[in-house]
Structure 1
Amino acid sequence: MTISDELERTRTALVALEKSLVALRNRLGSHLDVLRLLDDLERCAADLRRLEQQVGVRRGPHELVVIPDDDYALDFWAEAEQEGLGRTAP
């Protein structure tokens, strides 16, 4: 197995882990431990990208980014301002 194959297997495992963690977050809400795991996963993905660059593995021009389908937390927009209207009421 080549280094490219190993790096691709690692990337596939990270994507699978991300899907599982997003599903956990959807079921448990913003549980601290799940959020910490998602942060750790982002660091792992960044390290993997650097490693791919260091060993000269080229990826396609587009990288798959998983965007969860779940709704935003209700307080996500709490401090937001609507364009032209100013701050919204809580």
Structure 2
Amino acid sequence: MTISEDLDRTRAALLALEKALMALRNRVGPHLDVLRLLDDLERCTADLRRLEQQVRPAPLAGELVAIPDDDYDPDFWADAEHEGLG
């Protein structure tokens, strides 16, 4: 199993736990232990988010820009100096 699959399974487990805790809170009300479990869940979710940022490759930012292979217009180089030549 890859790290990405492990992270996905952990994310799914946290979502399932959140759903179960919300149902429990709706049934028993704002009981102290349920609220503490929800706080723990929030902390686990934040930790997982940080871990994902560290171990998963970052997606490419922005869109790809195609650069043509055509020659530049000679006027583009009109005021350029030839450094390193001579």
TM-score (norm 1): 0.62
Runs of 4+ in 1 over 3 A off after TM superposition: none
- Which structure features the higher share of strand residues? 1
**Mind listing any 5+ residue stretches in structure 2 that lack a counterpart?**
60-86
**Higher RCO (Cα < 8 Å, 6 or more apart):** 2
Q: How many residues align?
A: 59
1:50–1:21: structure 2 CA closer, same or farther, 3 Å change rule? Answer: same
TM-score (norm 2): 0.65
Largest Rg, 1 or 2: 2
One-letter identity of the residue aligned with 2:31: H
Query: Percent of aligned pairs with the same residue?
Result: 76
1:27–1:57: structure 2 CA closer, same or farther, 3 Å change rule? Answer: farther
Q: Which residue of 2 aligns with 1:39?
A: 39
Counterparts of 1:32-71 in structure 2, within 5 Å, are 32-57=32-57
1:58–1:4: structure 2 CA closer, same or farther, 3 Å change rule? Answer: farther
